[in-house]
Amino acid sequence: MLTRIFQSLREHSPLVHCITNYVTVNDCANMLLACGASPVMADDMREVEDIQSIASALVINIGTLNPMTVPAMFKAVKKANDMMHPVVFDPVGAGASNLRTETALQLLNESYFSVIRGNISEIKALALGSGDTQGVDANQSDKVTADNLEATIAFAKNFASRTDAVIAITGAIDIVADAHRAFCIYNGDAAMSRITGTGCQLSALIAAFLAANPEEDFLEVTLAAVCAMGLCGEIAKARLSEQDGNATYRHYIIDAMYHLQAETLEKGAKYEVR
């Protein structure tokens, strides 16, 4: 399954439109290039519809909201929904401020998203209408552990049922769920949390996987993307020397994606079905 999905991504090279934050936009573009896709970053109201009409998927990331990008997001999502393009929603920092939470909830209420990806605190903020996110990081009390895994899976399935979207909760244990099935993913490395933008890169990566696999089950496609990102984190970590730090690690993760093979992904993916 993972082999087929990844090979399709390499073969189709989809164009992915990202309205994302300026902190990580370059890393998202390079991750898309590394996986075989093509990035386009357009957030001006005057062109978002034109750009979306030629793209195959859309990423909405609310990491750095401003009065110009918010209306552009709504316009781009509407165009993507009208054209039945997959849309990935990354509610960065939802729960940390009224602006982020209200914008995220409005987008959720007025749009259709194929996948909603965030940390557990961000997803809870969307599901509950409020939250306690620590900046753009998950609150320590929310973190997914072996003790609360079953409850978190049930929560993710319920939210997936309410939104008709695949829910991807990323952290030490990643959970990818629809209303009926969930995958618990154990790829990745704790050091990935020390790099700004690995979550943003993953959201862009998921969009590329979806765009290249429109006939596949989006739950399984999202699983493939999350496993691929985590596996690249593991491969990159193994390359680090004692003198290397998080900047080098960021580059190595992108390099690992560039060189990743379908067979390596199939063999190295660590997940279970719940």
Name the amino acid, one letter, at 259.
Answer: H
Q: Which domain range does residue 251 map to?
A: 2-273
> Residue 89 region, left (φ>0) first, then alpha (ψ -120 to 50), else beta?
beta
pLDDT tens, position by position, 57-104: 999 999 999 999 999 999 999 999 999 999 999 999 999 999 999 999
- Give the pLDDT score at 138: 55
**Ordered strands of the 174-177 beta sheet:** 38-41, 15-19, 57-61, 87-90, 115-118, 166-169, 174-177, 182-185, 271-273
CATH number, domain with residue 197: 3.40.1190.20
Coil vs helix vs strand at 92: coil
Give 186's contacts (C-beta < 8 A, 6+ positions apart): 173, 174, 230, 270, 271
Cα–Cα distance between 45 and 73 in angstroms, integer? Answer: 8
For the chain, the first-to-last Cα distance in angstroms comes to 17
Q: How many domains does one find in the chain?
A: 1
Task: Check the CA dihedral 112-7-37-223 and report its sign.
Answer: positive
Q: At 40, give phi and psi (nearest 5°).
A: -140, 130
Cα–Cα distance between 203 and 167 in angstroms, integer? Answer: 12
pLDDT tens, position by position, 178-220: 999 999 999 999 999 999 999 999 999 999 999 999 999 999 9
pLDDT tens, position by position, 123-173: 999 999 865 555 555 555 578 888 899 999 999 999 999 999 999 999 999
